[in-house]
A and B are shown apart, each in its own frame.
Chain A
Amino acid sequence: NAGVTQTPKFQVLKTGQSMTLQCAQDMNHEYMSWYRQDPGMGLRLIHYSVGAGITDQGEVPNGYNVSRSTTEDFPLRLLSAAPSQTSVYFCASSFEGLRETQYFGPGTRLLVL
């Protein structure tokens, strides 16, 4: 198993550009989530999904969209990038939910100029 994969590893955007961060898992996990990590602030939840076709907002959803058309994939879309979205983004998954181990991907480092 590859586990949780994320692409790209690094990305530089200009303000106003849009892009999609990819996340995929091959463990047949139902629960998937996106976090952003900023210095001194830990991990903050952006969006999560409890299964295909079901998504919900986390703590900091503004400026981001998600969809879950398959169990395996959970892409994160930045609609119009802003410098405040410069961060490290982690995708995570677990088999059934939050009472189980969360498996994190390697992260995407995003710089918005």
Chain B
Amino acid sequence: GQQVMQIPQYQHVQEGEDFTTYCNSSTTLSNIQWYKQRPGGHPVFLIQLVKSGEVKKQKRLTFQFGEAKKNSSLHITATQTTDVGTYFCAGRTGSARQLTFGSGTQLTVLP
């Protein structure tokens, strides 16, 4: 079945440093979504990427979808304490009726 691997599992950064999490799929994805989950909270949708090579930005967050549509990344520039949480990618293949989530990257920002 489809597998979505996400690295790293944990990341500690000093406030102001950059952060990147990577997502890799064993199969070509039709779309990929990114979610953020604050400690004790629920996943909240951040963005969706659909096109090969697509790049989208939300303020300090940059999302990329690989040319082969098998990998994606989320980059945060100059992290803030409000960025703390776990970031998940979730991908879908073809006409599948399921999203497969990566295991998430837990970000800690040290003040």
Q: Find chain B residues with CB under 8 A from A35 CB.
A: 101
Instruction: List residues of B (81-110) whose CB comes within 8 Å of A's CBs.
Output: 88, 90, 92, 96-104
Task: Please state if B103 and A40 are interface contacts (CB–CB under 8 Å).
Answer: yes
In the complex the two chains form, what is the Cα distance from A106 to B42 in whole Å?
A: 5
The number of chain A residues with a CB under 8 A from chain B is: 26
Instruction: List residues of B (19-49) whose CB comes within 8 Å of A's CBs.
Output: 30-31, 33, 35, 41-45, 48
| Interface bin, chain B | 20 to 34
Given the contacts A45-B98, A56-B97, A98 and B92 also touching, CB distance less than 8 Å: yes
Residue-wise interface mask of A (70-96) relative to B, using a CB-CB cutoff of 8 A (1 in contact, 0 not): 000000000000000000001010000
Residue of A nearest to B46 (CB): A101
Residues of A within 8 A of B (CB): 33, 35, 40-45, 48, 50, 56, 58-59, 90, 92, 97-107
